[in-house]
Amino acid sequence: MAKIEKSPDQWRSQLNDEQYRVTREKGTERPFTGDYQVRDEQGIYHCVCCHAPLFENEHKFDAGCGWPSFDRPLGRQSVEEHRDSSHGMERTEVVCSHCDAHLGHVFPDGPPQTTGLRYCINSVSLEFHPNE
């Protein structure tokens, strides 16, 4: 599948300022401010930029970090992971595999009874589709 590519102006016309800052400029929303941190209904989280399905609510857990946390993506090809050495840290960035939208980071401190991973994702990079 070919990557979705748009100019910065095209992305800006589609996204609000915060969505653009986080997804296209690799920003981070403030902790405990996102809409999806505490959502409990069943459904699928999609990329706010290209609407690709990314995470299932069934695999979401409360990590207490202030951002939605998942123990795995919806499928192996839903997201890509890249080395991120910004801000003086070594982390693994998570992006949408369809449009390269910055979603957040993955850490090895998730629930040990599942994958042991914590996909720490910005709410503004997601849109929720209930009952999918």
pLDDT tens per residue, range 121-132: 999 999 999 987
The catalytically annotated residue of 47, 50, 96, 120 is 120
Give yes or no for a contact between 7 and 24, defined as CB atoms under 8 angstroms apart. Answer: no
Structurally, the chain folds into a number of domains equal to 1
The answer to whether position 110 is within a domain reads yes
Closest CA to 22 of 57, 51, 47: 47
In the annotation, is 47 catalytic? no
pTM for this structure? 0.93
In a domain, 3, yes or no: no
User: Per 3-state DSSP, what percentage of the chain is helix, strand, and coil (rounded to 5)?
Assistant: 20, 30, 50
Q: Which domain holds residue 16?
A: 8-130
What pLDDT digit, counting tens, does each position of 28-74 carry? Answer: 999 998 887 656 788 999 999 999 999 999 999 989 999 999 999 99
101 belongs to a structural domain: yes
Q: Could you tell me if residue 64 is inside a domain?
A: yes
- Nearest CA to 116 out of 51, 67, 72 is that of 72
Q: Is the pLDDT of residue 11 over 90?
A: yes
Task: Answer whether residue 2 is part of any domain.
Answer: no
CATH code, 43: 2.170.150.20
Does residue 1 fall inside a structural domain? no
